[in-house]
Amino acid sequence: MKKELLAPAGDFETLKQAIHNGCDAVYLGGKKFGARKFASNFDDEEMIKAIKYCHLYGVKIYVTVNTVIFDSEVDECLDYLTFLHQNGVDAVIMQDLGMITLVRQVLPNLDIHVSIQAHTHNLEQIHLLESLGVTRVVVAREMSLEEIQKLDTKLEIEAFIHGALCVCYSGQCLFSSLLLNRSGNRGECAGICRLPFTLLEDGKEIKTEGKYLLSPKELNTTNHIKELLESNITSFKIEGRMKSPTTIGYITRLYRMLIDHYEKNEEVVLTKEEQEKLMVLFHRGFTDGYLFHSSGKQMMNILSPNHIGIEIGKVIQVTPKRIRIQLEKELNQGDGIRFLEEEQGMNVNFLYDLKGNLISGAKPKEIIEMDNKVGITTCCTVRKTVDTKFLKELENYPKKKIPVTISITAKLGKPLWIELSDFNHKVSISEDCIQKATGNGTNKERILEQLSKLGDSAFFLQDSNLEIDTSIFIPISTLNQVRRKLVEELTSVRENEKKEVIIKEKPSILKQEDHSKIIITALVRNENQLKACLEENVDMIYVTDESLYEKYSADPNIYLRMNRVMNSFPNHKKAKLLIGETGSLWKYHHSCSLVTDYYLNVTNSYLVSYLKKLGVSNITLSIENSIETIAKIVSTMGNQGLEVLVYGKVEAMIMKYCPLKMLVNQDKSPCKVCQNGKKYELKDRNGEKYPVVQEKELTHLFYYHNRELENELLKLKKVGIMRYRFDFFDENCSQIKAILKKYKTMLL
């Protein structure tokens, strides 16, 4: 199968850069329902233009509709998806499983790719997606190439190969939502992982080399293109809908070149110059990523969360007015630089030689001076972050051209016949314009010359087939007119190529009978907490420890909470499970009693309906629901089995990266820091402390304060919620009892 190079487009200029630098497909978002809300994105008119432009150049276009959807948005989202389908998008990228099930019924001929936001990291999840009729899945960035290779599926596999990395499993990050009410699942991520933090051990600060303890480097797999191309990955995805057109254009060009070299059995490596140009465009430090087993300092750049460019020299003298720099690489007026250790950046407006003369640029080994307009005070490292000469080169990219063949039959006494073909489509014109020449006729060279003038069109003439009589005359104006018309027709045919659009009626949801009894559920982390809940007659208890579950499994109301990341599945039969990812849903839905956790991001009735059809008895709604969105679900579905977390310590992130191993144990193996009995926290700029818990090779970062909805209880009860969930973290027995009694008093 041909491998696909997939590039991002945050605006139309980036779209053009990606196409003309060699991508096979682009992905982009509209003004709504996309997971990059703060990119420029495309309104409806621009989207139609983008679809036509992509198809003209033989490039596929995938549109992100990959936020979670609330019930009030379902019809608008369906209308938008119908608009995309009718205008010929090749696929949509979606996260929300409820909406996917709905779209499969309403728009059965629209291809769906499952977004990385769906947290897909195991084969059981992929089996579930296969059952939904999607065509492609974007796998989690945390998967290694070996793990991806083991995915035996008929679905196409798409994987990120370059660009920014989330430190948290995608679709599982609630940090931005909790802290700033900007949901990553709604395209509003504020990038909290790029902010400074301090690591605390039993309340005392641990000194670290840098302060950006959650900030990953940029993924760069240019050194592994051969392994990737020989894998089962279908589509190689570049991240960057927020990046500049020139950056995306150059990254696309490099990967296109490497892929083409591999297909021609040529060397697949970048030159030093190409690597440095890539670094000066955008660079937080590069990593091979989890794809190729990077970890710790190989993955993270805790010194800077920003673009750090490439080192070009050192400050050798600094005064309040001037900075003197010993250059190792070229620097020109207009370039951008960064003084790394002082975390200051500036544009080079004025550049001086040692005599104080203004100069336009300087070469390696020269010593130059500039105004100290950012107030640095130390002799620090200088890095170039903007190269104006290189950017100007990238702005003048060559346009992609499509090869065509022209076939001409020009016989005296017959109409002129001309066909233009791109080898997939053919357009032709027959014109009654051939006359017998009375002097110098129109020879085949002149005819071909006129018809070859394809100018600014998307085409170039690769071949021709000519059957032309001698001694004929055809007006040049006619040939020009025919050429223009053929180009317009072939352009239109290519631009408007699309699948058949089938639209079916939206299915209705049958409302279930409401439940009238208040149910209290609780998650506990040890036996003392469990006993406290039993003493308070909690109706259903979720335990995090499997041995504790086995001890109490005879109790029909005690459930085992499964992990949120599952790489293997225990042989649970007739177990009672609280599940937090869709692989467990698929694996155990026939054999076990299931409750789903709030990590499944349930925000609409269609996902509730789908989960219930799979046999899930109780569904914990996403904590990103408002009272209004919960009310809408209840009014559509009824309240049967709907659960809301009203108290508890919420996990802001779940990470494969372990800050304890990297920062406390200095990346040494084996590491047993998490077993030393000490308490670890990350402290933010405001002094808030976030507990860090390392468990089963995963790091859980908890929010600094508890979710407490005591002021919302009456509203929740009024809209019909009957199941109330408590997540206990480090509370002791008396605290648990007091909390439960307080809430019960308000509820019962």
119 & 11 share domain: yes
Q: Could you say which of 370, 395, 420 is where a domain stops?
A: 395
Identify the pLDDT of residue 471.
87
Domains in the chain, number: 4
CA distance 463 to 82: 40
pLDDT in tens, 327-350: 999 999 999 999 988 989 999 999
Three-state secondary-structure class, residue 291: helix
623 & 567 share domain: yes
Please indicate, yes or no, if residue 119 is contained in any of the structural domains.
yes
Containing structural domain, residue 472: 402-495
231 & 361 share domain: no
Q: How confident is the model at residue 470 (pLDDT cuts 50, 70, 90)?
A: confident
Per the rule left: phi > 0, alpha: psi between -120 and 50, beta: everything else, 638 is left
Q: Per-residue pLDDT for 32 more than 90?
A: no
pLDDT in tens, 489-543: 999 999 999 999 999 999 999 888 888 899 999 999 999 999 999 999 999 999 9
pLDDT in tens, 84-113: 999 999 999 999 999 999 999 999 999 999
446 & 555 share domain: no
Identify the pLDDT of residue 36.
67
Residues 426-450 have a mean pLDDT of 90
Q: Per-residue pLDDT for 35 more than 70?
A: no
CA distance 19 to 40: 18
Share of the chain above pLDDT 90, in %: 91
Please indicate, yes or no, if residue 687 is contained in any of the structural domains.
no
Cis peptide before 245 (omega within 30 of 0): no
Q: Per-residue pLDDT for 289 more than 70?
A: yes
Burial of 247 (0-12, 13-18, 19+ CB in 10 A): buried
23 & 154 share domain: yes
432 & 486 share domain: yes
Please indicate, yes or no, if residue 173 is contained in any of the structural domains.
no
Three-state secondary-structure class, residue 53: helix
Q: Per-residue pLDDT for 566 more than 80?
A: yes
Residues 145-165 have a mean pLDDT of 97
432 & 469 share domain: yes
Interior angle at CA 50, CA 250 and CA 451, nearest 5 = 85
Alpha carbon distances (Å) from 78 to 84, 100, 105, 408: 10, 11, 11, 47
Name 576's Cβ contacts closer than 8 Å, sequence gap at least 6. Answer: 553, 556, 558, 559, 560, 592, 593
413 & 376 share domain: no
Identify the pLDDT of residue 360.
95
Please indicate, yes or no, if residue 701 is contained in any of the structural domains.
no
Tokens 């009626």 identify what position? 505
Identify the pLDDT of residue 41.
83
Residues 273-277 have a mean pLDDT of 96
pTM (two decimals): 0.95
Average pLDDT, the chain: 95
Burial of 718 (0-12, 13-18, 19+ CB in 10 A): exposed
Q: Per-residue pLDDT for 38 more than 70?
A: no
Q: Per-residue pLDDT for 684 more than 90?
A: yes
Give strand pairing partners of 157. 137
pLDDT in tens, 168-212: 999 999 999 999 999 999 989 999 999 999 999 999 999 999 999
Q: Could you say which of 203, 234, 268 is where a domain stops?
A: 268
159 & 109 share domain: yes
Q: Per-residue pLDDT for 393 more than 80?
A: yes
- Residues 326, 314: contact at Cβ < 8 Å? yes
Please indicate, yes or no, if residue 671 is contained in any of the structural domains.
no
- Residues 289, 223: contact at Cβ < 8 Å? no
Q: Could you say which of 250, 268, 286 is where a domain stops?
A: 268
9 & 71 share domain: yes
Where do the H-state alpha helices sit in 197-269? 225-229, 245-263
CA distance 430 to 23: 36
Identify the pLDDT of residue 230.
97
| CATH number of the domain that residue 559 is part of | 3.20.20.70
Name the phi and psi angles at 304, rounded to 5. -155, 135
Please indicate, yes or no, if residue 237 is contained in any of the structural domains.
yes
Q: Per-residue pLDDT for 438 more than 90?
A: no
86 & 233 share domain: yes
Name the phi and psi angles at 402, rounded to 5. -100, 125
Name the phi and psi angles at 27, rounded to 5. -125, 145
Identify the pLDDT of residue 512.
86
Please indicate, yes or no, if residue 280 is contained in any of the structural domains.
no
407 & 485 share domain: yes
Q: How confident is the model at residue 46 (pLDDT cuts 50, 70, 90)?
A: very high
Identify the pLDDT of residue 712.
95
Alpha carbon distances (Å) from 316 to 28, 218, 378: 46, 30, 9
Please indicate, yes or no, if residue 276 is contained in any of the structural domains.
no
